[in-house]
């Protein structure tokens, strides 16, 4: 049984990952901003919870203290992140870009730095849940892809810097995943969020990504899953997905990933 911290655990992929890891018998610490959602998750799964806004240094420090006071950590799942807006570069809002960089890159960096000494000492794992957007780009996605590309450079560089040490650095890159909040937070309305998945036959669900994360952590300790890209069968890349129109015809079209 491993002791694992999962960030962004109040909904979506993070919540599903907590549930999956608890089902496998692991000791899981769930963190996110929303205390009430975390408490409900704890009641349902038996996980430990520590509410924290990772963009605030004092709250991140509180989380780290709470985690380390409970004993050695075996794995960190950096899942917290998100997108804001879908503007062209010419119209992009600097505040949106700044927010995305803070939640996807700087928070991930600071938490990883804080917990890395213990993970190096005990031979732990660090999982980064990035996106296919960390390795592609598309119209209307420059701010998000820029942040995710930057985040992806953390694990890519850490593998070089920590080679020979017993620390596994894993990146999981989801494509189109239908969750309750990702597109809503990005686009600002339920109708626009639903349009992202309109006509798409079986997009991925949060549970699909949670299953992959749990699998990467379950490999023998000499096996590192450097990077795994996970898409629904109907998606070819970040901007090409098969959709069914009102007449049942399959049409490739653009989408947000």
A 10 A CB-CB count for 147 gives: 29
Give the C-alpha distances (Å, rounded to integers) separating 185 from 121, 131, 162, 194. 38, 16, 35, 12
Q: Which of 101, 138, 144, 197 is catalytic?
A: 144
Centre a 10 Å sphere on the Cβ of residue 242 and count the other Cβ atoms it contains. 16
**Exposed, middle or buried by CB within 10 Å (0-12, 13-18, 19+), for 10?**
buried
3-class DSSP string for 140-208: CCHHHHHHHHHHHHHHHHHHHHCCCCCCEEEEEEECCEECCCHHHHHHCCHHHHHHHHCCECCCEEHHH
Do 31 and 111 touch, CB atoms closer than 8 A?
no
Catalytic site includes residue 101? no
The single-letter DSSP state of residue 134 is: G
Spell out the residues 6+ positions from residue 29 whose beta carbon is closer than 8 angstroms to its own: 3, 4, 5, 6, 47, 48, 49, 50, 66, 67, 70
Annotated catalytic sites, by residue? 144
């Amino acid at each position: 049984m491993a002791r694992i911290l999962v960030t962004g655990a109040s909904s979506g992929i993070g919540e599903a990952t907590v549930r999956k890891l608890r089902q496998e018998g692991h000791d899981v610490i769930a963190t996110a901003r929303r205390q009430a959602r975390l408490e409900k998750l704890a009641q349902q799964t038996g996980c430990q919870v520590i509410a924290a806004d990772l963009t605030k240094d004092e709250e991140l420090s509180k989380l780290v203290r709470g985690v380390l006071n409970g004993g050695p950590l075996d794995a960190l799942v950096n899942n917290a992140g998100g997108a804001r807006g879908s503007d062209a570069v010419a119209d992009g809002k600097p505040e949106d870009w700044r927010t995305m960089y803070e939640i996807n890159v700087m928070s991930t960096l600071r938490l990883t730095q804080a917990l890395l000494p213990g993970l190096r000492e005990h031979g732990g794992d660090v999982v980064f849940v990035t996106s296919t957007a960390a390795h592609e780009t598309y119209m209307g996605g420059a701010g998000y892809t820029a942040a995710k590309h930057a985040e992806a450079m953390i694990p890519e560089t850490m593998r070089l810097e920590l080679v020979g040490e017993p620390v596994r650095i894993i990146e999981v890159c989801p494509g189109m995943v239908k969750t309750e909040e990702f597109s809503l937070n990005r686009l600002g309305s339920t109708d626009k969020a639903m349009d992202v998945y309109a006509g798409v036959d079986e997009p991925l669900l949060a549970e699909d990504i949670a299953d992959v994360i749990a699998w990467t952590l379950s490999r023998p300790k000499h096996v590192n899953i450097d990077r795994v890209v996970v898409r629904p069968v109907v998606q070819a890349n970040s901007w090409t997905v098969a959709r069914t129109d009102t007449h049942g015809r399959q049409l490739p079209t653009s989408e947000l990933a």
